[in-house]
Amino acid sequence: MSEQKKATKSQDAKEEEKSYDLSKWADIIAMFRDDLSEDKIKSHVSAYISTLVTEFGMGNYCVVFLFDDWHSIYPYHSNQIYKAISDLRSSKDILLVLQSGGGKIEPAYLISKTCKRLCKDKFVVSVPRRAKSAATLLSLGANEIHMGLLSELGPIDPQFGGFPASGLANAMEKIAEMSSRFPDASDMFAKYLTDNLSIRDLGYFERINESAVQYAERLLAGKTLPDNWDEERLAAHLTNHYKDHGFVIDSDEAATLLGKSVIKESTPEYEFGNRIYEFLDFLEFLFKAFHQKRIRYVGSIDNGLDTFDAENE
């Protein structure tokens, strides 16, 4: 046996022998200092998260993750979650730990609809920190959304290049208002519109915005909402009411919109999600420090952890 193979075998044996208590930050650091392979780290991480499922009494759920601070929601996320729950056959309720700034509304809608269809009785979302934009849309399909003091939902208005789809119509309305106030400048405003704004884009953006409302209505259908809301009004409110895409909809406001039967505060499901957040946040710090990588956790406990180069984030 070559020296290199002997060294590799010895290293593998050493990794097999040593155990780590990942509830202790010192042991998490030790895991990286011992220069474990990425596969070994993933194995220890999934094993630890499985112990957290038991510790927090989440064993009645099929626990899945959409925990990604670095990528917008897109079909990768829906595919990973579908793989994690496709064989469930309504045998368990589903708990999704959700940490996302948003993304495309179509895969977010499909994730929510699929979880609703495949769960036994309840589809539950835990939001340890933020589920914004399309992630809020995804949450609307859940029977329960578990939140804490730092949890936030947000407006579901679609964005293009960081600007809201409804913003083009708003801009045209503002220019029309200014033209009526300053008629001598109307030719200038007309030229600006001709040179910079496309009527075709206006129609497209309006239809995308209306699609977000329609998806929200479908996910809200059948929910018992507070007396002053129905699914049509609430979907329109979440899409068009807020002036800033980053607006914080905290647990108190979320409860006034969706009701306390949907919004649950400081529950074991939230505490579980919060522990996952704290653990993965520290884990990512170490991946960045030791390997110049970021992480995301999407899909099942066993196969959800994924790493990527930090410079490509």
* 3-state SS class at 58: coil
Q: Residue 220 above 60 pLDDT?
A: yes
At 117-167, the pLDDT tens digits run: 999 999 999 999 999 999 999 999 999 999 999 999 999 977 545 555 455
At 4-21, the pLDDT tens digits run: 655 555 555 554 568 999
If pLDDT is split at 50, 70 and 90, which confidence band does 200 have?
low
Q: Residue 25 above 70 pLDDT?
A: yes
If pLDDT is split at 50, 70 and 90, which confidence band does 185 have?
low
- Interhelix angle 167-181/186-196, nearest 10 degrees: 160
Residue partners of 140: CB distance under 8 A and separation at least 6? 112, 216, 219, 220, 238, 258
Averaged pLDDT, 255-266? 97
User: What's the token pair of residue 312?
Assistant: 């490509």
The more confidently predicted of residues 154 and 193 is: 154
Distance CA(12)–CA(133), nearest Å, equals 44
Distance CA(99)–CA(129), nearest Å, equals 7
Amino acid at site 187: D
The label of the residue with tokens 């936030």 reads 152
Lowest mean pLDDT among 205-209, 288-292, 306-310: 205-209
Q: Residue 184 above 90 pLDDT?
A: no
Q: Which of 227, 229, 226, 223 is nearest to 259 (CA)?
A: 226
Q: Residue 41 above 80 pLDDT?
A: yes
Q: Residue 106 above 80 pLDDT?
A: yes
Domains of the chain: 22-154+248-312 (3.90.226), 157-224 (no CATH)
Residue partners of 144: CB distance under 8 A and separation at least 6? 122, 124, 125, 262, 263, 264, 269
Distance CA(257)–CA(260), nearest Å, equals 9
Contact 154, 125 (CB under 8 A): no
Distance CA(225)–CA(234), nearest Å, equals 9
Torsion (CA) 107, 113, 115, 117 in degrees, nearest 10: -150
